[in-house]
């Protein structure tokens, strides 16, 4: 018989801590470099665009490898992938800390940390789904993980700014390595609830086709300010490979073989809409963080810590919304929270446009960033809950990888799109800042439109693991019941 939500949650808290910290440090890594742009570019004799490429490649490699890595969790085991990913991440962080040039920084931060993150993140969500069988306790667990992910991304500039100013930008990577060591220590008691299957087939062709397609698509966006024709060519190549990948997956499914991921995952309307909202939420968070950070350092010439302190408003907003998430979930529908989150976030973008353009004072950034934090904090957890709980346990590995890949694609798109607009003409100051913000606002409206299409009563029964002699049934809008 399943325990109560509170007892389930308390009993599994030792499992949840290292998993939530892992999401925190990976999200932190995606944003903390934003406040180091000037310091890194001077120290490594590179440009703002060079650092942007390193940041975007880190996010892109995560997105490219997230789905293949989620499939490897079944083959290699969830705990083994989790610890292997942490090890690669830690090595990458230390290599970044001693990098003599941009190339080594890209190898350490973009490649090794990116691959490590792709390996360790799917197990975070799979292990959480399998451990928390009660709907309410699972929602709380996802809320904790999503909150720490959002806080990691929002607090990255502040923590990175403090460390960079007090010591060096290199010390920020040492900090990441120390957190990884802590997570490994806390993970000693984690057990994998399912056995690994070394003989399980792996769709290598699908992994290569999807990875190449996504790489060319995002890399093409980065070429927008250099050569529009080259951008179009890269993006066209990306579309060709992604189309080839879809045809390959369909052919493999029809032949009865195990594809990289099942196309049936995208036949669930509620999950599809949830994935769209996830993508745009992270697109906005990383896009805004990069845009404001670069603007402050290159146009207003703020140092790392002053830039980071400004983002306290964003961090505080996400933290407050996360603390209220459980109470809000009991009172409001999932779709209502997501819609409200987009509306508040769009209002925050409006304030960042209106107040920053009209005032040179540092306080002009606070209201907009705070509202954005509230909006994003309110909707991060409902979007994850909707997607993960739309599928039975046997599909959790696949949907976890797809979900994380979609979110990380949003992060890389945000940095690539907004960053490319911004760095195209930094000398113009406010003009490119305004254009970048307007583009992010327009994409936020797309996210709101997707949220408006979510049905009134989101309900999904999923086949669940047996507890004793009973089958647990999960439905939206009520407690878990036998």
pLDDT given at position 84: 93
Confidence of residue 470 (pLDDT cuts 50, 70, 90): very low
Distance (Å, whole) CA 180 – CA 90? 6
Confidence of residue 99 (pLDDT cuts 50, 70, 90): very high
Mean of all residue pLDDT scores within the chain: 80
pLDDT given at position 480: 26
pLDDT given at position 458: 61
Range from 1-15, 89-103, 111-125, 384-398 that averages highest in pLDDT? 89-103
The answer, yes or no, to whether residue 463 has pLDDT greater than 70, is no
pLDDT tens by residue, 364-395: 888 999 999 999 888 877 887 788 777 776 67
pLDDT tens by residue, 139-164: 678 778 877 877 787 778 888 888 98
Across residues 51-76, what is the average pLDDT?
83
Distance (Å, whole) CA 47 – CA 37? 8
Residue with tokens 């083959």: 75
Share of the chain above pLDDT 70, in %: 86
Confidence of residue 87 (pLDDT cuts 50, 70, 90): very high
Question: What token pair was written down for 270?
Answer: 């509620």
pLDDT tens by residue, 405-437: 788 778 777 777 776 776 656 555 677 788 888
Question: What token pair was written down for 449?
Answer: 């439109």
Range of weakest confidence among 10-14, 145-149, 269-273, 445-449: 10-14
pLDDT given at position 135: 65
DSSP 106: I
The answer, yes or no, to whether residue 461 has pLDDT greater than 60, is no
Q: Where are the domains of the chain?
A: 13-188+260-456, 204-259
Q: Under a CB-based contact definition with an 8 Å cutoff, are residues 64 and 210 in contact?
A: yes
Confidence of residue 448 (pLDDT cuts 50, 70, 90): very high
Looking from the CA of 476 toward its CB, the CA atoms found within 13 Å total 21
pLDDT given at position 423: 62
Confidence of residue 176 (pLDDT cuts 50, 70, 90): very high
The answer, yes or no, to whether residue 482 has pLDDT greater than 60, is no
Integer-rounded Cα radius of gyration of the chain: 21
Across residues 41-46, what is the average pLDDT?
89
User: For the whole model, what pTM was predicted?
Assistant: 0.74
Angle (CA) 125 387 336, round 5°: 120
pLDDT given at position 1: 38
Give the CATH number of domain 13-188+260-456.
Answer: 1.20.1250.20
Question: What token pair was written down for 89?
Answer: 């991440």
The answer, yes or no, to whether residue 174 has pLDDT greater than 80, is yes
Q: Under a CB-based contact definition with an 8 Å cutoff, are residues 35 and 157 in contact?
A: yes
The answer, yes or no, to whether residue 250 has pLDDT greater than 80, is yes
DSSP 1: -
The answer, yes or no, to whether residue 19 has pLDDT greater than 80, is yes
pLDDT tens by residue, 228-244: 778 788 889 999 999 99
pLDDT given at position 449: 93
The answer, yes or no, to whether residue 66 has pLDDT greater than 90, is no
Q: Under a CB-based contact definition with an 8 Å cutoff, are residues 462 and 389 in contact?
A: yes
Across residues 275-301, what is the average pLDDT?
85
pLDDT given at position 464: 36
Distance (Å, whole) CA 216 – CA 213? 5
Residue 179's region, left for phi above 0, alpha for psi from -120 to 50, else beta, is alpha
pLDDT given at position 145: 83
Question: What token pair was written down for 282?
Answer: 């992270």
pLDDT given at position 425: 60
DSSP 266: G
pLDDT given at position 221: 75
pLDDT given at position 226: 65
The answer, yes or no, to whether residue 72 has pLDDT greater than 60, is yes
pLDDT given at position 57: 85
pLDDT given at position 399: 76
Share of the chain above pLDDT 90, in %: 22
Give helix 169-186 / helix 135-166 axis angle, nearest 10°: 150
Across residues 246-271, what is the average pLDDT?
86
pLDDT given at position 467: 29
Angle (CA) 79 81 84, round 5°: 105
Across residues 436-458, what is the average pLDDT?
86
Report the SS3 class of residue 16: helix
Distance (Å, whole) CA 284 – CA 194? 36
Closest alpha carbon to 35 in 287, 296, 286? 296
The answer, yes or no, to whether residue 3 has pLDDT greater than 60, is no
Question: What token pair was written down for 71?
Answer: 């499939």
Q: Long-range CB contacts (< 8 A, 24+ apart) of 45-51?
A: 45/101, 46/101, 46/102, 48/294, 48/298, 48/423, 48/426, 49/423, 50/102, 51/102
Range of weakest confidence among 151-155, 250-254, 278-282, 436-440: 151-155
Sequential DSSP letters for 398-459: HHHHHHHHHHHHHHHHHHHHHHHHHHTTGGGTHHHHHHHHHHHHHHHHHHHHHHHTS-SS--
Distance (Å, whole) CA 219 – CA 27? 21
Confidence of residue 478 (pLDDT cuts 50, 70, 90): very low
Which residue has better confidence, 277 or 267?
A: 277
């Amino acid at each position: 018989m399943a325990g109560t939500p509170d007892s389930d949650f308390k009993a599994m808290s030792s499992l949840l801590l290292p998993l939530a910290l892992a999401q925190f440090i990976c999200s932190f890594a995606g944003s903390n470099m934003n406040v180091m742009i000037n310091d890194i570019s001077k120290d490594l004799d590179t440009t703002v665009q060079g650092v942007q490429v390193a940041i975007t490649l880190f996010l892109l490699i995560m997105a490219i490898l997230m789905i293949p890595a989620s499939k490897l969790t079944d083959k290699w085991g969830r705990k083994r992938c989790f610890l292997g990913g942490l090890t690669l991440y830690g090595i990458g962080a230390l290599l970044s800390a001693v990098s003599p040039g941009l190339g080594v920084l890209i190898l350490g931060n973009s490649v090794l940390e990116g691959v490590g993150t792709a390996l360790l993140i799917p197990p975070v969500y799979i292990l959480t789904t399998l451990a928390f069988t009660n709907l309410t306790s699972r929602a709380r667990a996802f809320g904790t993980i999503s909150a720490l992910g959002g806080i990691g991304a929002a607090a990255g500039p502040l923590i990175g700014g403090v460390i960079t100013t007090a010591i060096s930008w290199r010390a920020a990577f040492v900090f990441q390595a120390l957190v990884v060591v802590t997570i490994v220590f806390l993970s000693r008691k984690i057990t994998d609830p399912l056995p690994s299957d070394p003989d399980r087939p792996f769709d290598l062709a699908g992994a290569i086709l999807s990875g190449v397609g996504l790489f060319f698509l995002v890399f093409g966006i980065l070429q927008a300010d250099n050569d529009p024709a080259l951008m179009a060519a890269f993006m066209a190549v990306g579309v060709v490979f992604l189309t080839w990948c879809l045809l390959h997956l369909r052919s493999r499914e029809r032949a009865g073989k195990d594809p990289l991921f099942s196309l049936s995952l995208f036949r669930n309307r509620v999950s599809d809409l949830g994935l769209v909202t996830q993508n745009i939420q992270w697109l906005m968070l990383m896009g805004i963080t990069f845009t404001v950070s670069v603007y402050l350092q290159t146009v207003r010439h703020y140092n790392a810590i002053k830039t980071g302190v400004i983002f306290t408003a964003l961090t505080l907003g996400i933290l407050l919304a996360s603390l209220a998430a459980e109470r809000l979930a009991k009172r409001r529908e999932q779709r209502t929270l997501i819609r409200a989150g987009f509306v508040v976030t769009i209002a925050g973008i409006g304030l960042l446009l209106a107040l920053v353009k009209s005032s040179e004072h540092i306080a002009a950034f606070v209201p907009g960033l705070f509202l954005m934090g509230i909006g994003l904090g309110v909707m991060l957890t409902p979007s994850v809950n909707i997607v993960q709980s739309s599928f039975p346990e046997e599909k959790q590995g696949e949907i976890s990888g797809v979900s994380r890949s979609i979110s990380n694609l949003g992060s890389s798109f945000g940095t690539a799109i907004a960053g490319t607009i911004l760095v195209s003409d930094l000398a113009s100051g406010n003009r490119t800042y305004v254009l970048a913000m307007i583009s992010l606002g327009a994409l936020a409206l797309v996210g709101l439109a997707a949220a408006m299409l979510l049905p009134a009563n989101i309900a999904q029964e999923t086949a669940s693991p047996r507890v004793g002699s009973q089958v647990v049934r999960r439905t939206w809008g009520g407690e878990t019941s036998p």
